[in-house]
Structure 1
Amino acid sequence: MFADQLDPEAQRFPWLGRVWFFSRVGLILLALLAVKLLVHRMGWEVLDPNLLLPALVASEVFLLGFLLNGILMDYKESEKIPGELAAALECLAMEVRSIRELHPEAEVVGSLALLVRFSEELLAWMKHGGLDTRLLDCLDELQRSIQQLGIWLAAPLQARLLLELANIRRALYRIEVIREITFVPTVYWMAYAGTGFLIGGLILTEIEPFGESLFFIAVISFLLIKLLLLIADLDNPFARGEVMSVENVSLLPVSLAIRRLQDLVEAA
């Protein structure tokens, strides 16, 4: 409930993406089984069971495991980014707010307001994507405002604030890279081609009894197709704005930081 209040979009139809995910797998699986039935009735099963078939299955599983392992590394890194951004935003706010305690005449409300506006733009961008100049311009404006506060800051503190801004900028570009760049596209093509050849081979192979062959084809196809779709979804962990995306990192730390920054500006 608390998460819903911070981020109303976080729990909007949470089941819809998963239902669509399994529906896609089910529809593809039904189509493959229908093709297998047609091939069996028409006598087009031109291949015989071969000892190389288990080797083909093992090689495809190895390839998918390699791909999934690489995707999970990026996903685990992505899980840390919202927390790091939230910490950097709150650190900036607290340091800027502390200037008023040492120099009551310092005007920090404008910088804090810019920080809140940038944080809100950041959260909207993390949800819906599309890195544009508006977000970067807002960050540039925030940096200029903090640099102007340097007349009241000691050099080490000013350097610390600029370092936090640099970390935020670095995180923005890292998110964009994770979103837009597919993990090793050649391996993706190999995985899709291998899955296609394997399932096609199973469909064209005459395996008796026929009922058991349908069962094994259904299970193997289900696991391979589901894993391929899951890998494609994990490849972009910042796709919460897409209704059909299933596995995404939590943006709750950023939402919580924005709420705290808003309270800080109101108190200032």
Structure 2
Amino acid sequence: MGIQKKIKTKSNKIWQKWSIAFRIIPVLLFVALLKFLSHYFELEILELNALFTSLIAGTIFLIGFLISGVLSDYKESEKLPSELSASMKSLYDDAYTIYKGKNSQNAFQFIAFQKTFTTFLMDWFYKKETTASILDKISQMNDFIIELDNEGIQPGYLIKIKNEQNNIRKMILRIDTIRETNFIGSAYAILEAMGFLIALSLIIIKIEPFYVALFFTLLVTFLISYMFLLIKDLDNPFDYAENGESGTEISLKPIHDLINVFKKL
């Protein structure tokens, strides 16, 4: 079983590393077929010139512009699951301290609520729960805070709990904004158009010998397609509903670890 698990883990890592490349293979096969047909029927009517190389340079510039934009959001997104987990654990520690110190049943119920909330949170990441629903559950924490206040719990604890509640709400809204907003849709459109034009031009450009033309056609198509898909993936690093926790998606390990900790408590 241990060997099988290691093999499966290694296979998953390989798939995560090369998943985008595998997705491009059908495109490359299609372009290669068109290049063969173009050469066979003598449809290579264009000659390689400086205008075409300028088109490729412009496309590379646009790719650099897009990837620099999405990377800033991606770097911020990497921090959010661990910060969300830390805020949830801090809430639990405060509630547990109140429960043990004051034998508060409201604090005990608040602990049970937090354990349930982490499950709803994971469902929300996979879009099984709506954002409105998860925000409503965050607001339900107010009922426990009111009851704890009525018990005469020290204001310092209640203020800290309110701060963590506010932090959780902010992070949920930030994640929702990142995954629901595309980075400059018109820039994606022009990149798609330029990528299509470059592939079409390579198919009908005459370069001798033919195998050199085929090699560069597939190479340029692969690079542009790969970078386009990479940027699309980086633009939404929380797309677990479609891709699961693989590829360029942000790791939810801190949330999984928190759920496992809560199960043992």
Q: Same fold (TM over 0.5)?
A: yes
Name 1:23's counterpart in structure 2. 22
Say whether the 8 Å CA contact 2:19–2:247 is kept in structure 1: no
The aligned counterpart of 1:153 is 153
Any residues of structure 2 matched to 1:193-204 within 5 Å, and which? 193-204=193-204
- In the aligned structure 2, how far is the partner of 1:63 from the partner of 1:90? 42
The RMSD of aligned alpha carbons is 2.3
Paired AA for residue 53 in structure 2: P
Q: Distance in 2 between matches of 1:28 and 1:105?
A: 62
Q: Describe the superposition over 1:205-246 as per-residue Cα deviations: whole angstroms up to 9, x where unpaired.
A: 111222111111111111111111121122221123324762
Offset of 1:105 from its aligned partner? 4.6
Cα distance in 1 for partners of 2:257, 2:19 equals 30
Measured in 1, the distance between the counterparts of 2:128 and 2:174 equals 13
* Structure 1 partner of 2:171: 171
C-alpha displacement of 1:180: 1.2
CA contact (8 A) 1:17 1:246 kept: yes
Could you say which residue in structure 2 is the equivalent of 1:8? none
Please state if 1:63 is matched with 2:53: no
Counterpart-to-counterpart distance in 1, 2:201 and 2:140:
59
Q: Structure 1: which 5+ runs fail to align?
A: 2-10
Quick check: 244-253 or 125-134, which moved more? 125-134
Tell me, in whole angstroms, the C-alpha distance in 2 between the residues paired with 1:162 and 1:94.
Answer: 14
Gap change, CA 1:70 and 1:250, over 3 Å in 2 = same
1:50-75 deviation line (CA, Å, top 9, x unaligned)? 11222211111111111112112111
Q: How far apart, in 1, do the equivalents of 2:98 and 2:236 lie?
A: 40
**Is the contact made by 1:16 and 1:243 (CA closer than 8 Å) also made in structure 2?**
no
Aligned identity (percent) is 31
Amino acid at match of 1:56: L
Contact 1:45 1:206 in 2 (8 A): yes
Which has the larger displacement, 236-245 or 179-188?
A: 236-245
- Displacement of 1:188 in angstroms is 0.7
1:36-90 CA distances to partner (integer Å, 9 max, x unpaired)?
A: 1111222222221111222211111111111112112111111100000000001
Name the TM-score, length of structure 1 as normaliser.
0.86
Task: Output the CA distance in 2 between the equivalents of 1:143 and 1:79.
Answer: 29
Secondary structure of the corresponding residue to residue 119 of structure 1:
helix
CA displacement 1:79-109 (0-9 Å, x = unmatched): 1000000000010111111113442355311
Query: What is the CA–CA distance in structure 2 between the aligned matches of 1:107 and 1:203, rounded to whole Å?
Result: 70
| Residues 199 and 221 in structure 1, CA contact (< 8 A), matched pair in contact too | yes
Distance 1:238 1:212 in 2: 40
TM-score of the superposed pair, with normalisation by structure 2: 0.87
Structure 2 unaligned segments of length 5 or more: list them: 2-8
Which structure has greater helix proportion? 2
Partner of 1:125 in structure 2?
A: 124
Equivalence map 1:218-237=2 (5 Å): 218-237=218-237
Q: Secondary structure at the residue paired with 2:142? A: helix
- Aligned residue number for residue 252 of structure 1: 253
SS of the residue 2:207 aligns to? coil
> Structure 1 segments of 4 or more deviating over 6 A?
none
